[in-house]
């Protein structure tokens, strides 16, 4: 079948009241994408000439997302007539008038449906010369789903919605998965004859299949064993169930691709993440957004990496990083916080209780512990002493600091931006650096130490400290 003869209509007009949310149901996220994003990605992967999402409730928010991330899709709007049949009818109106190919209809809240399943369904539909094909599955608890009625020889007869079904029909556990393939011309004609004479007062798409049968056309029901592929999401409990299943599949796929995931049940990976071979992912790790993990890197335990690139052989432990880059062989953590704009060079180090932001840290340079590095550039092979603060804000504007190559800063320094420390310079412990330090110089402003004799004995008389001091004096005098 030529791609130009294929269209995909995605139903995204439902209100989704059971989500109990101000956010449209199809915009709730699952493994890094909105539900609708998963469905539209699959639709695009089919190579269809036309992808038509149908919207209604919260249409502005949904349309904005579609326009930004799926600009080739043609958005259709459902009118006041309710029902899936009417939604598809509105979607058909967005297609060229001369389109006479095959139409796939799916739902914006069925995110796990994959390309392979749809392609198999398309193949059986075309090979068998069917007017319509309905995807089905079997559920232990079919409550809420339309039931599939078959003849004694297994041929498809009808779909009966839950509220229209008899007690006998409700006992059937083969259900409508809400995914269809239709001949476009025949579907248009059938929908024109479908009414709203049912318990819901809606125009059902399922009635179009019944109409085609009534007209003598062939309709098939294609069943699949993997019910998760067609699992719909109507509330947050179902969202979490599908999320867990999808995460299990993502983790397993990475394991089979050569990634060690020690505890898949406690490792969450978005579909947008890329991981290199022989990487090791430890428990409590969340890899989100456009995150890349290099080959042989070790991540975790207890890391959250969002839109972050980690180089080959790097180690990241108990760290939260967003919008950052960690170079090959570098080490980060534990208890590090990398904010957007952090760029750690190869073999560099961001250590314990260190926060960085808009910081470029050169290859081999280290910020080992208890420091804040904001709006700064540090050269190669430099070492920032413990407890160092880059004071980048003057109360009105942010300023930038520049630290050269092979610099050694003392512990408990404060760099008051804007400041430049030249290559090979040193700064003494406890220094507040307000002026530039030239290459090779030592920057210091430490005041001479002054000891006040007998201060504890006179000012803290009777305390444990005074008693200890007195005892030490007496021992030293003997």
Nearest alpha carbon to residue 306 among 338, 333, 282: 338
**Unique residue bearing structure tokens 């969450």:** 268
C-alpha to C-alpha distance for 91 and 9, rounded to whole angstroms = 6
C-alpha to C-alpha distance for 94 and 77, rounded to whole angstroms = 9
C-alpha to C-alpha distance for 327 and 347, rounded to whole angstroms = 7
Q: Kindly list the catalytic residues.
A: 369
C-alpha to C-alpha distance for 173 and 138, rounded to whole angstroms = 5
């Amino acid at each position: 079948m030529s791609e130009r003869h294929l269209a995909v209509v995605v139903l995204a007009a439902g209100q989704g009241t059971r989500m109990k949310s101000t956010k449209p149901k199809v915009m709730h996220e699952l493994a890094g994408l909105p539900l609708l994003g998963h469905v539209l990605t699959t639709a695009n992967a089919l190579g269809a000439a036309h992808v038509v999402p149908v919207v209604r409730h919260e249409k502005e928010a949904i349309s904005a997302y579609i326009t930004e991330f799926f600009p080739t899709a043609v958005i259709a709007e459902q009118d006041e007539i309710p029902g899936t049949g009417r939604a598809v009818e509105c979607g058909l109106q967005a297609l060229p008038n001369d389109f006479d190919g095959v139409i796939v209809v799916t739902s914006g809240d069925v995110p796990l449906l994959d390309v392979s399943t749809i392609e198999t369904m398309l193949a059986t539909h075309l090979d068998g010369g069917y007017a319509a094909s309905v995807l089905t599955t079997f559920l232990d608890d079919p409550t809420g789903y339309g039931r599939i009625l078959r003849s004694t020889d297994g041929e498809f007869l009808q779909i009966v919605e839950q509220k229209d079904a008899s007690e006998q029909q409700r006992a059937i556990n083969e259900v409508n998965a809400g995914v269809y393939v239709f001949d476009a011309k025949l579907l248009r004609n059938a929908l024109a004859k479908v009414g709203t004479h049912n318990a819901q007062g809606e125009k059902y798409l399922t009635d179009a299949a019944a109409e085609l049968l009534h007209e003598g056309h062939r309709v098939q029901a294609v069943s699949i064993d993997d019910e998760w592929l067609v699992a719909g999401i109507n509330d947050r409990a179902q969202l979490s169930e599908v999320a867990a299943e999808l995460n299990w599949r993502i983790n397993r796929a990475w394991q089979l691709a050569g990634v060690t995931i020690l505890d898949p049940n406690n490792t969450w990976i978005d579909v947008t993440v890329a991981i290199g071979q022989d990487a090791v992912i430890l428990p409590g790790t969340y890899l989100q957004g456009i995150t890349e993990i290099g080959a042989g890197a070790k991540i975790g335990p207890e890391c959250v990496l969002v839109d972050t690139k980690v180089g080959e052989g790097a180690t990241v432990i108990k760290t939260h990083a967003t919008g950052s880059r960690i170079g090959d062989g570098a080490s980060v953590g534990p208890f590090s916080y990398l904010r957007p704009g952090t760029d750690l060079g190869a073999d560099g180090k961001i250590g314990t209780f260190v926060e960085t932001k808009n910081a470029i840290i050169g290859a081999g340079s280290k910020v080992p512990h208890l420091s804040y590095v904001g709006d700064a550039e540090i050269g190669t092979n430099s070492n920032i002493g413990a407890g160092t603060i880059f004071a980048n804000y003057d109360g009105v504007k942010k300023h930038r600091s520049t630290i050269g190559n092979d610099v050694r800063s003392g512990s408990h320094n404060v760099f008051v931006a804007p400041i430049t420390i030249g290559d090979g310079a040193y700064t003494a412990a406890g220094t507040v650096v307000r002026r530039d330090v030239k290459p090779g110089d030592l920057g210091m402003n430490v005041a001479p130490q002054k000891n006040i004799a007998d201060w504890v004995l006179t000012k803290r008389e009777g305390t444990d400290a005074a008693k200890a001091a007195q005892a030490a004096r007496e021992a030293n005098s003997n």
